[in-house]
A and B are shown apart, each in its own frame.
Chain A
């Protein structure tokens, strides 16, 4: 039976078996549809009766009403018991779908399931909790913040059951470095310019040349001073020179991005996504995909469960550029300046000498930078 006939009611027509071919021929030419049974019966939806009747003019046929959903609904109104039962069942189904029926935890080995469930319950996810008031990301965040044993957590809803996948925290053995006693050693070769000891015994003085790894302030107190261990603390400023350089080739390739073209538009409602529009790339050039996500919020604070996801594609073209001598100097200079800023981010500049030369491939620019830096590096004393 056709779905429209079932929903809105219809009529069953019967023609003589010999007339089926004639009727079918007329239906084909008029664009009408029918499914003939062996006896020459077919059903017609109520709202298209006129067309079928006019198509059957001149042919003998009989009509019979079909009792479908409307007739069933009318009959049901007389049987109030069944109606009430149906109503109760539907209300129960709707009502029960508002709450969490079960929480199933997987992925835990050491941590007992009950402990995970307890932590989830404290974050708001438990049997009987309302789905509407639940924010999975909030539960995940809150559980991870409070839990000492769970390292990662993911919650999914299937039907009325919450499926929780957990990964436990990996506990590493405490390393020897975490001891309370330490020495300060030189982090690099340098000349000590200034040394201030807050705790420990100084082993070098200003003007000394030290090698990387050499002891500067010791956390071991000699016996004559009382003995024992301390955590060495102090500020040791060392000066050193360092060369930084950049080389710019005369011919250089760089990427440029073309116009953005809309590839797809997708609407995501809860966990379902509907593709509204999809286009396919026609060229075989290299390209990048750019994703634009617009999530709907109320007052910019409360996230609604739907959003619009758009993807764009942009062609990537690799172009080559040849620098002139003047351009080479400018590019090398700007690159060296950036490098210098990075290198001097945690030290103080004393002196700088910059020089450059044209090479076979392009231009090389270098700077010898004399700088002042805290060179003390903490090394823990193992027990």
Chain B
């Protein structure tokens, strides 16, 4: 069995249907508002850096004067002068391989 097949087998039915997260952005000049749904938690928050965790990835946003709003349905909105958005994939085997 290949590595890809193993990974697919481990995905639950729900994960196959629904994406890990959904992201959309709306900008007005340098002000950007990023809406991310499918959030599990907030890793870090400051006016320069925000880190959020989704089911499969963690997302990091940097900029100036960042604000965070928490909505229902596991959705957060990060707004401010956002400069970068980076995605870091989490390993599926994390916590299992010892």
Contact = CB atoms under 8 A, between A and B. Distances in A.
Contact of A38 (B65, B71, B76): B65
Given A21-B43, A25-B41, A32 B70 contact: yes
Nearest to A35: B69
Nearest to B39: A28
A24 B67 CA distance: 11
A246 B45 CA distance: 89
Contact of B42 (A24, A35, A37, A38): A24
Interface residues of B, number: 20
A54 to B, nearest CB: 16
Chain B residues touching A, majority SS: strand
A36 interface: yes
A36 B41 contact: no
B67 A38 contact: yes
B74 interface: yes
Question: Which size bracket describes the interface of A in this complex?
Answer: 10 to 19
Nearest to A38: B47
A37 B72 CA distance: 18
B65 A25 contact: no
Nearest to A31: B72
A31 B47 CA distance: 24
A25 B43 CA distance: 8
A29 B75 CA distance: 10
Nearest to B46: A17
A99 interface: no
Given A24-B70, A29-B41, 10 more contacts: A21-B42, A21-B45, A22-B42, A24-B41, A28-B76, A33-B71, A35-B69, A36-B69, A36-B70, A38-B67
Listed from nearest, the 5 A-B pairs whose CB atoms lie closest are A25-B41, A21-B45, A24-B42, A35-B69, A21-B42
